[in-house]
Amino acid sequence: MSVLNSLKLVTYQPVNNSSAEITRRRKIIVKIDEQLALAANPNYQAMHYKRIKDEDGSERKIEVPKRLKRWWNATADGKVNLTIRYGSKPIEFAKGKNAIELASEDHVAATLLKIKEAVQAGELDELIAIQLSTRQNAAVKK
């Protein structure tokens, strides 16, 4: 019993990791990590699993590359515009502004890391919620 007395005992309280904000943060962080890998290696291909049926009817999982679009592109004046996407649409940081202008493609990875930190800190939660609400409003209007 002397071993148990030497330990600090507390009540376990599980962390609620199933809130909508935390789920959204996890989703966008995975996408940012894919973009970081793409920035480091232009030939990077993210993979996902697909189920296929054999001729005998048995199912098996195979790994196939998934389509991955770059979030940045070069402008005519040599600068780079970086968008942060949630779903298929870029997040609007300010009214009418949905891209980050960078001097060159060398700054993409560093900027993505800063955005990832902002997502982890919860700074983009409100912007993502606004984007989701506009998407939901558009679906209701149809």
Q: Averaged over 117-126, what is the pLDDT? A: 93
| Tens of pLDDT, residues 27-79 | 999 999 999 999 999 999 999 999 999 888 899 999 999 999 999 999 999 99
Cα 13–18–19 angle (5° rounding)? 105
Residue 13, in any domain of the structure: no
Confidence of residue 85 (pLDDT cuts 50, 70, 90): very high
Average pLDDT in the chain = 89
- The pLDDT value given to residue 92: 92
**57 lies in a domain?**
yes
Task: Give the range of the structural domain holding residue 82, as residue numbers without chain letter.
Answer: 18-141
Is 5 part of any domain? no
pLDDT at 18 over 80: no
Residue 3 lies in a domain: no
**Residue 47 in domain:** yes
Specify the higher pLDDT residue, 63 or 20. 63
Number of domains within the chain = 1
In a domain, 107, yes or no: yes
